[in-house]
Amino acid sequence: PKRVRVHHLREAKDRGDRLTMLTAYDYPTARIFDEAGIDLLLVGDSIGNAMHGKSTTLPVTVDELIVAVRAVSVACERALVIADLPFGSYEASPEQALATAVRMLKEGGANAVKFEGGKRVAPQVRALTNAGIPVVGHLGFTPQSENLLGGKRVQGRGDDAAERLSSDAVALQEAGAVAVVLEMVPAPLAAQVTEILRIPTIGIGAGPDCDGQVLVWLDMAGMGDWSPSFAKQFGQVGAALRAAAVAYADEVRSGSFPDRGHSFLQ
């Protein structure tokens, strides 16, 4: 399959083709999503909540994320792999962001990085772009700022907040961002930002008018034990896995597995 490249993002927007993105944290699921034709795989810091049972993304480290980035990168033949920059690994300076992003590409094999914030991280976006590293922005509800934002809340409500979000999006674009994720933003504002920007918007809880969509894969596939109201379950992977485990345990306990067909007879 022909690899998804950064220039395809703008081309997709210009053609009106919607971009598909899912999170991935390991080799087997990334293989499945890549083969399914998902355009962009995000190794998100949501690995903290989704995969490691933490209550926020804040404790996720660069080292633990890189292990996941490497597994996802190895799995992908077509999808563009985007690595999140964890909390505390980019905010201080463009130099800090560059050092972390270089690790994501060099050790992790990622094609691009994503981090949270608008104008305040525009210098970081510029520095990475100058170094040849594509950057995806992330606005609206930004989980790493949950303490400051006062919880998991819709962002950009009201004229002032909407204006701030729009100008942050433009600042990211001007600094060289190749796309911007809009998380938990009112649909009309997401539509307006999508209209203003030349680069694609990728929505999550941001209504139907973004240029693309991203979900945490466990929420999309019915795998997690909690999922946000904006997510839709397109499968029941958790139930299927539980049924497989129960069936396995039943057969082991009853002695019907392993049978002769699943044994080395000599």
Q: Residues interacting with Na ion, by CB under 5 A?
A: 44-45, 84
Stretch that binds ligand KIV, among 10-18, 25-33, 41-49, 226-234 (CB under 6 A): 41-49
Sign of CA dihedral 51, 54, 58, 59: negative
183 classed as catalytic: yes
Site string for ligand KIV, 187-226 (x = CB under 6 A): -----------------x---------x-x----------
**Measured from the CB of residue 51, what is the shortest distance to ligand KIV in angstroms?**
10
Distance, CA of 136 to CA of 200 (rounded, Å):
10
103 binds, among Na ion, ligand KIV, none (CB under 5 to 8 A by kind): none
Which of residues 41, 44, 89, 210 is near ligand KIV by CB under 6 A?
44
H or E element, residue 93: none
**Measured from the CB of residue 181, what is the shortest distance to Na ion in angstroms?**
8
Which of residues 9, 69, 76, 181 is near ligand KIV by CB under 6 A?
181
Residues 94-113 that bind ligand KIV (CB under 6 A): none
- Closer to ligand KIV at the Cβ: 46 or 201? 46
Distance, CA of 62 to CA of 39 (rounded, Å):
24
Measuring CA to CA, how many Å separate 45 from each of 11, 39, 75? 28, 19, 19
Q: Could you tell me whether strands 212-215 and 80-84 are parallel, antiparallel, or unpaired per DSSP bridges?
A: unpaired
Residue 155 in contact with ligand KIV, rule: CB under 6 A = no
* Range list of β-strands (E), 132-215: 135-140, 179-183, 201-204, 212-215
Site of tokens 């980035």: 69
Stretch that binds ligand KIV, among 39-47, 68-76, 99-107, 125-133 (CB under 6 A): 39-47
Locate 166 and state its tokens: 């729009």
Locate 144 and state its tokens: 């790493």
Distance, CA of 179 to CA of 135 (rounded, Å):
7
DSSP-assigned beta bridge partners for residue 180: 137, 201
214 binds, among ligand KIV, Na ion, none (CB under 5 to 8 A by kind): ligand KIV
Site string for ligand KIV, 61-90 (x = CB under 6 A): -----------------------x------
Sign of CA dihedral 28, 229, 49, 244: negative
DSSP-assigned beta bridge partners for residue 201: 180
Task: Provide φ and ψ at 213, rounded to 5°.
Answer: -140, 140
- Closer to ligand KIV at the Cβ: 142 or 192? 142
Q: What does the binding site for ligand KIV look like in residue numbers (CB under 6 A)?
A: 23, 42, 44-46, 84, 138, 181, 183, 204, 214, 216
Residues noted as catalytic: 183
